[in-house]
Structure 1
Amino acid sequence: MKEICYMHVRVLEEPELFAKAMSLVSAERREKVQKLKNQMPARLSLAVGILLVFAMEKCGLGDRRDDIKYQVHGKPYLECSDFYFSLSHSGEYAVCVFGDMPLGADIQKIKETLPTHTKKILSEEETAYLNSMSEQERRKAFYQIWARKESLIKWDGRGLRIPLHTISCVKDGQMIEQINFEGKRLFFGDWDIPEYAFSLCSEKEFQIDEITEVTTKILTKY
């Protein structure tokens, strides 16, 4: 079972809804949001917090929102539970993917320009794949690759300690849906959001049971 819940952060532009969301998230999340001086980063941080609350409520775990722990490299988890989740935000969207198995998810806003230095990010096959494309195609494909690698990092939990250029999401000139990583077969799944790249990584083939947008209407029901 895997589900996606997401939010466009314009929902939190209304002061009353921002305050309500702050009252619902964990004390730790409130502290993180309060430390952010700029409005957009604060809304994005609060959005992933409220999405996690929504996911936990849906799974009957609403009373455990303050029980989130962190592994040694920072991966969040709920102790003594088979509830797994991954949080991400970029641009104006926040996403929470949750299910009953370890997973990682990432969303990336497709920008007008690509990073100048990509040798530590891309494999040789990926670089050749991107160089064969038009500029517009290259931008989309790069962020698809980047989202996949970030989702793998979040699944794994060791962060950027994994040398990304040694992982290739391209084989024989095509983007692939599964890779072998340290003795395990991992599957990637995409979800189409205009102007964004999204990836989910898990040990089972990509299947989303439900996608929910957390809107103003939903938030006001809490």
Structure 2
Amino acid sequence: MSVSLLAVSLSPNRNYDEFDKLLEAASPEKKAKAAAFRCRDDAWRTLVGEALARTAVGERLGIAPNRIEFGSSAYGKPYVVGAPELHFNVSHSGSWVVCAVARQPVGVDVERMQPVDLSVAHRFFSRQEQRDLADKLPHEQEEYFYDLWTLKESYIKCHGHGLSLRLDSFTVRVEPGGQVTAWMPQGEPPYSFRRYAFVPGYKLALCSGESELPERWQTVSVQQIVEELLR
């Protein structure tokens, strides 16, 4: 499979020895970002995200994770220095961190579902998406909102132009069979989408220029990531 999708669950019982090792292996930018967080959980997610990306990219390139250098584009999209043929993306929410690696542009989004004011759909969703959401039964609307949100975020992250690409400038729809249909801005190349039946209370979506996307994600532990970093 040309696209790898990895997920890490952060245990509520944190191992602070692992935290220190992740911090030691982090880039200067991520160390500064982690230190700026008031909430240690936010620092955990940031450090695990970079470490997961290092191990996933290192495995694909066949090099040690600690030899990998990351950069970011003018729009803030991360890339692997010296390996333009490889793309990756990281997302985290709640107790989960996910990473996708591919040979074509890729974007991934995980979201913990919480009560949401559905009126925000008028600000961020296309008119067709708003109609599709309104057509759902009341008890289905919140879940469908998060389906759309994660799919759209995965595309924004795959596209790599950040907030310069409006969320309402394109349309996605989850068909009755579960497949995703998308209408992109004019001139955009085709992208593949996939939504996943992730763990309860979360939504996970993937977008890539690759034609085939994995059917499932691979779960790894923080301990495994730390062991890879220390090899």
Length-normalised TM-score, structure 1: 0.88
The 1:3/1:11 distance shift into structure 2, 3 A limit, reads farther
Which consecutive residues of structure 2, in runs of 5 or more, have no partner in the other structure?
Answer: none
Q: Secondary structure of 1:120's partner? A: helix
Is the contact made by 2:48 and 2:222 (CA closer than 8 Å) also made in structure 1? no
Aligned AA for 1:70? S
Q: Secondary structure of 1:47's partner? A: helix
- Compare 20-29 and 202-211 and name the one that shifted more: 202-211
1:201 matches 2:202: no
Instruction: Report the alpha carbon displacement of residue 136 of structure 1 after superposing the two structures with TM.
Output: 3.2
Aligned AA for 1:105? V
The 1:47/1:63 distance shift into structure 2, 3 A limit, reads closer
- In the alignment, which residue of structure 2 is the partner of 1:77? 79
The 1:64/1:11 distance shift into structure 2, 3 A limit, reads farther
Is the contact made by 1:179 and 1:186 (CA closer than 8 Å) also made in structure 2? no
- Once residues 12 and 47 of structure 1 are traced to their aligned partners in structure 2, the CA distance between those partners, rounded to angstroms, is 15
- Compare 155-164 and 128-137 and name the one that shifted more: 128-137
- In the alignment, which residue of structure 2 is the partner of 1:132? 135
Is the contact made by 1:192 and 1:198 (CA closer than 8 Å) also made in structure 2? yes
The 1:123/1:210 distance shift into structure 2, 3 A limit, reads closer
Aligned AA for 2:27? S
Instruction: Report the alpha carbon displacement of residue 203 of structure 1 after superposing the two structures with TM.
Output: 2.0
1:214 matches 2:225: no
Q: Secondary structure of 1:144's partner? A: helix
Instruction: Report the alpha carbon displacement of residue 12 of structure 1 after superposing the two structures with TM.
Output: 7.3
The 1:30/1:210 distance shift into structure 2, 3 A limit, reads farther
Return the match for 2:196 from 191, 194, 197. 191
1:16 matches 2:14: no
- Compare 133-142 and 99-108 and name the one that shifted more: 133-142
Summarize deviations over 1:93-131 as a string: whole Å, max 9, x none. 111100211111111111122354322311111111111
- Once residues 209 and 4 of structure 2 are traced to their aligned partners in structure 1, the CA distance between those partners, rounded to angstroms, is 15
Is the contact made by 2:18 and 2:226 (CA closer than 8 Å) also made in structure 1? yes
- Once residues 171 and 109 of structure 1 are traced to their aligned partners in structure 2, the CA distance between those partners, rounded to angstroms, is 19
- In the alignment, which residue of structure 1 is the partner of 2:148? 145
What percentage of residue pairs aligned between the two structures are identical?
A: 22
Is the contact made by 1:85 and 1:98 (CA closer than 8 Å) also made in structure 2? yes
Which consecutive residues of structure 1, in runs of 5 or more, have no partner in the other structure?
Answer: none
- Once residues 136 and 17 of structure 1 are traced to their aligned partners in structure 2, the CA distance between those partners, rounded to angstroms, is 41
- Once residues 147 and 79 of structure 1 are traced to their aligned partners in structure 2, the CA distance between those partners, rounded to angstroms, is 27
Length-normalised TM-score, structure 2: 0.85
- Compare 145-154 and 50-59 and name the one that shifted more: 50-59
